[in-house]
């Protein structure tokens, strides 16, 4: 039986990481347009004074938050201690480094995990302890099709997203009794400008990879030829409605996964086929490695 969640009949306070561009900015604007309270965040608010002014002119606030800071959860504790309840935490901040797995440096690997998993995990732990006491809260984690089936050159990025997804599944089961929802948003390719901010790995591509799919994808991303077909505004409108239980989200408050993007449908099918094939081939083996009674 699906869990039943109740939401207060009042404007909610949303804290969104990575609010200065892409999904974060689109969602922040929708949140404010619908009369909710917004706490926008970014690593360097001084870099986007016009956006800070826009948010503040509509009654919101913009604070500095670096998810790579090991003490980033303290931001939520400080807000709560000042009487500002974080009803909805949206873990959106992120980036991708493109390179084959073998060429990644330890530093690149760890930095990605810090941004995509450890930072969001710290914020979640800080938020949930306060939400549990109030018996209400919503955690929204922006994920990616790469968490399900990563393309070449996106291995560590997919690993970071998959780690947060896996943790979210356990968290959802742990906190549903406290009226806390956990929603994972699985995103395809969208017009967020991610392609314009492409980061290639430090190490050069080995000659053996010349002409490979890895090289092709890296060239597409680094030359501005990446052409996403998703509309970020439409996607974030759907996220908003699923969170508040309106529009496309009405009646689906207990759902834990929200897939978005036409290209994501095909990727989900690939994963389904991958697992179905494994059971078809090794099903007998799978079911015959048990202890005998």
Provide the pLDDT for residue 228: 86
| CA torsion angle 252 185 113 136 (round to 10) | -30
Q: What is the phi/psi pair of residue 12, to 5°?
A: -95, 155
| 205-211 long-range contacts, CB within 8 A, separation 24+ | 205/99, 205/100, 205/103, 206/100, 206/102, 206/103, 209/100
Instruction: Kindly report, residue by residue over 168-219, the tens digit of the pLDDT.
Output: 999 999 999 999 999 999 999 999 876 556 799 999 999 999 999 999 999 9
User: Does 1 map to a domain?
Assistant: no
What the block records as the tokens of 134 is: 């109030």
Q: Residue 293's pLDDT is what?
A: 84
CA gap 10, 3 in Å, rounded: 22
Assigned domain for 6 exists: no
Distance CA(233)–CA(52), nearest Å, equals 19
Domain assignment present for residue 292? The answer is: no
Q: Give the CATH number, domain containing residue 83.
A: 3.40.50.720
| 3-state SS track over 239-257 | HHHHHHCCHHHCCCCCCCE
Specify the pLDDT at position 289: 96
Residue 115 resides in a domain:
yes
Which residues are annotated as catalytic? 20, 143, 157, 161
Residue 200's domain comprises 13-266
Contact 186, 260 (CB under 8 A): yes
Extract the residue ranges of the chain whose pLDDT is less than 70.
1-2, 194-197
Q: Model-level pTM?
A: 0.95
With respect to residue 289, please indicate whether it lies within any of the assigned structural domains: no
Number of structural domains in the chain: 1
Q: Dump strand ranges (E) for the chain.
A: 13-16, 37-42, 61-64, 88-91, 97-98, 137-144, 180-187, 199-200, 257-260
Tokens 């994972």, residue located = 184
């Amino acid at each position: 039986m699906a869990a039943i969640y109740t939401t207060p009949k009042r404007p909610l306070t949303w804290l969104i990481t990575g609010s200065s561009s892409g999904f974060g900015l689109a969602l922040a604007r929708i949140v404010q347009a619908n009369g909710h309270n917004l706490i926008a965040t970014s690593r360097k608010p001084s870099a986007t004074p016009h956006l800070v002014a826009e948010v503040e002119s509509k009654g919101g606030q913009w604070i500095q938050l670096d998810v790579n800071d090991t003490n980033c959860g303290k931001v939520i504790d400080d807000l709560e201690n000042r009487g500002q309840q974080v009803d909805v935490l949206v873990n959106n901040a992120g980036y991708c480094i493109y390179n084959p797995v073998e060429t990644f440096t330890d530093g690149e690997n760890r930095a990605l995990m810090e941004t995509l998993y450890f930072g969001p995990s710290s914020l979640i732990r800080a938020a949930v302890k306060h939400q549990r006491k109030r018996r209400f809260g919503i955690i929204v984690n922006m994920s990616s099709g790469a968490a399900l089936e990563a393309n070449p050159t996106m291995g560590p990025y997919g690993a970071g997203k998959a780690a947060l997804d896996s943790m979210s599944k356990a968290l959802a089961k742990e906190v549903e009794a406290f009226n806390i929802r956990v929603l994972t948003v699985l995103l395809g390719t969208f017009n967020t400008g991610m392609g314009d901010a492409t980061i290639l790995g430090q190490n050069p591509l080995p000659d053996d990879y010349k002409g490979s799919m890895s090289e092709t994808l890296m060239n597409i991303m680094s030359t501005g030829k990446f052409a996403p077909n998703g509309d970020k505004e439409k996607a974030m409108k759907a996220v908003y409605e699923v969170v508040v239980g309106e529009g496309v989200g009405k009646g689906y408050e207990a759902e834990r996964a929200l897939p978005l993007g036409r290209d994501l449908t095909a990727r989900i099918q690939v994963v389904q086929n991958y697992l179905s094939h494994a059971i078809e081939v090794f099903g007998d083996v799978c079911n015959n490695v048990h202890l005998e009674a």
